[in-house]
Amino acid sequence: MYQQEQPILTVKSLNKRFGHGCLNCQGVQKEKLVGNYCPFCQTVYACQNISLEIYPAEILGVVGESGSGKSTLLRCLYFDQDISSGEGYIQGYKDGLVNIFNETSQQKRYIRNHLFGMVYQNPYLGLRMNFSSVGNIAEKLIGAGSRNVDFMAGRARELLKKVNIPDYRMKEAPENFSGGMQQRVQIAKALSNNPPILLLDEVTTGLDLSVQANVLDLIKRIQRDLKISMIVVSHDLGVIRMLADRTIVMLNGRIIEQGLTDQVLEDPQHAYTQQLVYSLL
């Protein structure tokens, strides 16, 4: 069903390397890596030749063990980290013709503030912990150009209500909140400017099971109501199974398998995916 549509985000051959590389690991001899690591120069090839597409209102799951490069991928997309090479195009940005990774840092901020929402595994990265919850949401709206206090406060209340933060705690700072509540404030913040693309990095990791279910439910509901495209990164196949329409499996910085989530989980092709799926059973 997606094939008729234009992808909202296209990533082509994204590479992210930590380190300078050396004769051993660059070019044709790349096979000499141990995992994604060059033992000669300690360079880590965190993302190698990653290409992907996301369609409107689609949830793309990215699964893999820790160190597989999936979080780095998200951070590259959100410009938290500079990429080593690659291209990225967003449908709603300059007609999808301009490589977003080549834009100035000013333009990248514009993209972050207007087109992306990000929810980090660690809420400390996504929130100003000692500002009010309302203020946290306003920050994103301010970034997107709003200068009206009543509008922003109203929008913040509406979103915080949506993520089940009680009215009387909205002016409180997230540092006083539990992990699950912080995560919900982060989600509300990420949603505040109606971004077409939401990036979610291990959002349920470290939460109690009941709270996890709560947050997953919330994400599902938001996706249904707002028709936002999402990239959901998780090491937890349960999360992927519940949320993702399509899934990418990453290992050592590469995509080793991809397809419809059901297909990947029911009939895994790659040995690693098989191991991953069977261990879940």
Which residue number, 13 or 130, has a Cβ lying nearer to another protein?
130
- We find the least distance from the C-beta atom of residue 108 to another protein, in angstroms, to be 8
Which residue number, 193 or 204, has a Cβ lying nearer to another protein?
193
Which residue number, 139 or 245, has a Cβ lying nearer to another protein?
139
Which residue number, 11 or 152, has a Cβ lying nearer to another protein?
152
Q: Does 105 contact another protein by CB under 8 A?
A: yes
- We find the least distance from the C-beta atom of residue 151 to another protein, in angstroms, to be 8
Q: Which of residues 120-179 bind another protein (CB under 8 A)?
A: 128, 131-132, 134-135, 138-140, 142-143, 147-150, 152-153, 171
Which residue number, 20 or 220, has a Cβ lying nearer to another protein?
20
- We find the least distance from the C-beta atom of residue 147 to another protein, in angstroms, to be 5
Residues 6+ apart with CB under 8 A from 39: 24
Cβ contact 45:36 at 8 Å? yes
* Strand boundaries in the chain, DSSP class E: 9-18, 44-54, 59-63, 85-90, 116-119, 197-201, 229-234, 246-251, 254-260
Which residue number, 6 or 42, has a Cβ lying nearer to another protein?
42
Count of residues interacting with another protein (CB under 8 A): 25
- From 43-51, 104-112, 114-122, 225-233, give the range in contact with another protein by CB under 8 A: 104-112
Residues 6+ apart with CB under 8 A from 80: none
- We find the least distance from the C-beta atom of residue 194 to another protein, in angstroms, to be 17
CA atoms in the 13 A half-sphere facing the CB of 278: 9
Which two three-digit tokens encode residue 94? 């300059």
Query: Residue holding tokens 């082509």?
Result: 12
Give the integer Cα–Cα distance in Å for 273 and 240: 13
- We find the least distance from the C-beta atom of residue 41 to another protein, in angstroms, to be 8
Binding track, positions 31-70, relative to another protein; x by CB under 8 A:
--------xxxx----------------------------
Q: Which of residues 221-280 bind another protein (CB under 8 A)?
A: none
Strand order through the sheet with 44-54:
44-54, 9-18, 85-90
Which residue number, 59 or 118, has a Cβ lying nearer to another protein?
118
Report the residue count for the chain. Answer: 281
- We find the least distance from the C-beta atom of residue 149 to another protein, in angstroms, to be 5
Which of these, 52, 61, 94, 113, lies nearest to 223 by C-alpha position? 61
Alpha helical stretches, state H, the chain: 70-77, 105-115, 123-126, 133-143, 149-162, 179-191, 209-226, 237-243, 261-266, 271-280
- We find the least distance from the C-beta atom of residue 36 to another protein, in angstroms, to be 14
Which residue number, 40 or 124, has a Cβ lying nearer to another protein?
40
N-terminal to C-terminal alpha carbon distance within the chain:
30
Which two three-digit tokens encode residue 153? 């406060």
250's torsion region: left (phi>0), alpha (psi -120 to 50) or beta? beta
**Residues in touch with another protein (CB under 8 A):** 39-42, 105-106, 109, 113, 128, 131-132, 134-135, 138-140, 142-143, 147-150, 152-153, 171
